[in-house]
Amino acid sequence: MAGQRSNLSELRIDIGRLSARIDELGQIGRIDGPHGEWGNARLALTDADRSGRDLVTTWMRELGMELTVDAIGNVVATRAGSDPSLAPVMIGSHIDTVGTGGRFDGNLGVLAGLEIVETLTQAGVVTARPLQVAFFTDEEGSRFAPDMLGSLVFVGGLALAEALDLTAADDGARLGDELERIGYAGESPCPATSMPHACVELHIEQGPILEAEDITIGVVEGVQGISWTEVTIIGQSAHAGTTPMHLRHDPAYCAAAIATYVRDLTQHLGADQVGTVGRIDVYPNLVNVVPARVVLTVDLRNTNELILEEAEARLAAYLEELAEIEGVEISTTSLSRFEPVDFDPAMVDLVERTGRRLGYTTRRMSSGAGHDAQMLARVCPTAMVFTPSVNGLSHNIAEFTHAADIEAGANVLLQVALDLLTTGRAIES
């Protein structure tokens, strides 16, 4: 067959074709910066998300893949294998973004999967196992909490009915209604009735380590635990000019104190502990009024579950103390809570071995960000491949990864997938 290669270890992706797809998808919800940088705003289940989904599913169909859309809007496209009795190998990520996101975060993992499908097809390669390329709903959690929502429901970690009733942080829309509105309320069951043989996710690092150490391939051993808490502070609205400072019950001051405490907490607990106050909403948000209410979020993360639990306990104790001192009411709601995840050791070894075989420098590391792969790790052997991020930037329109690094990561993904797909041997037509 034309284009067939007898030695699959020499098979490589087409970086020009992959880069073109990344840029084309990036035009949907494009945001331009002042210095030529550009990224994306495709919040989950918005019109922009629908347009992105439509484009990616069109590419999937053009590649001859069979598509399924499940009840939470996850899309799974399948390239058939020679043995339909074998469970598939899944490559997947997401295509939704934060409000000021880049065009590589998530998108790379999905589009690299399509590039692998096209590479295999052009080379005339038939694999024993089916190959699936998936993108999951609302990975970012920016519009509907928790993050990794679609993959969490996919593996049975969150009840479908509960997920469908979630409301959007921006406009209060119901998730199930938004799925219907954009045309991605699918008929396939969720959680899925069968799980993959294995799952591999390619992703940009979203941090500075690989670039700083001049490493091409990050071999991800696991994902740190995540704790998201929404904090509501109710004080007393008052005139900004006539109310003495010692008589105020100011929730804005409390919010500032909490942000400062979170920073101090991370320094006390050590380098592996991170914390962020990422969203602050002030009511009534007027220049000359002591606020009546402030709602903020606290994001705590650690690779060590015991230390993460300590951070949560210390924050809770501080909030109780602050409420007493300032005469305000403070309540909390858990938005997301995931324990640290360790990926399958054999899968991690396979990624590392493959990267080195292809001549790339490698580094074992943990992921500071959450990923769909950590949900799939609940049900099948899972691993991740990282590529460097320029200046460590992500969730930023200036997010960028060089084409050479994308190519390296995608080739590692291809070779890892081939190893899993062929169950140790290649079947070529």
Q: What is the pLDDT of residues 63-115, one digit of tens each?
A: 999 999 999 999 999 999 999 899 999 999 999 999 999 999 999 999 999 99
Where do the domains of the chain lie, and which CATH numbers do they carry? 8-224+341-428 (3.40.630.10), 225-338 (3.30.70.360)
Q: Could you give the 3-state DSSP secondary structure of residue 357? A: helix
Is a pLDDT exceeding 80 seen at residue 343? yes
Q: Output the CA torsion 343→345→349→355 (10° steps).
A: 0
Are the C-beta atoms of 21 and 111 separated by less than 8 Å?
Answer: yes
Q: E strand or H helix at 125, and its extent?
A: strand 125-126
- Provide mean pLDDT across the span 304-322: 97
Q: How confident is the model at residue 3 (pLDDT cuts 50, 70, 90)?
A: very low
Is a pLDDT exceeding 50 seen at residue 19? yes
Are the C-beta atoms of 25 and 56 separated by less than 8 Å?
Answer: yes
Burial 64-81 (b: 16+ CB within 10 A, else e): ebeebbbbbbbbbbbbeb
- Give the pLDDT of residue 116: 98
Q: Could you give the 3-state DSSP secondary structure of residue 367? A: strand
- Give the pLDDT of residue 425: 40
- Give the pLDDT of residue 428: 37
Strand-pair category, 382-387 with 362-367: unpaired
Please confirm whether the linkage preceding 388 is cis (ω < 30° from 0): no
Are the C-beta atoms of 136 and 110 separated by less than 8 Å?
Answer: no
Is a pLDDT exceeding 70 seen at residue 1? no
Are the C-beta atoms of 89 and 413 separated by less than 8 Å?
Answer: no
Choose the weakest-confidence range: 1-5, 83-87, 220-224, 299-303: 1-5
Structure tokens at 312: 């949560």
Task: State the average pLDDT for the chain.
Answer: 95
- Give the pLDDT of residue 422: 86
Alpha carbon of residue 369 to chain centroid = 7
Nearest partner of 151 among 389, 336, 349, 420, judged by Cα: 336
- Provide mean pLDDT across the span 274-303: 97
Alpha helices, H only, 327-402: 345-357, 372-376
- Provide mean pLDDT across the span 273-297: 97
- Give the pLDDT of residue 415: 97
Q: What is the DSSP letter of 157?
A: S
First-to-final CA distance of the chain: 7
- Give the pLDDT of residue 52: 98
- Give the model confidence (pLDDT) of 49-69 as tens digits: 999 999 999 999 999 999 999
- Give the model confidence (pLDDT) of 362-420 as tens digits: 999 999 889 999 999 999 999 999 999 999 999 999 999 999 999 999 999 999 999 99
- Provide mean pLDDT across the span 314-321: 98
Residue percentage of the chain with pLDDT more than 70: 97
Residue 218 β-bridge partners: 363, 386
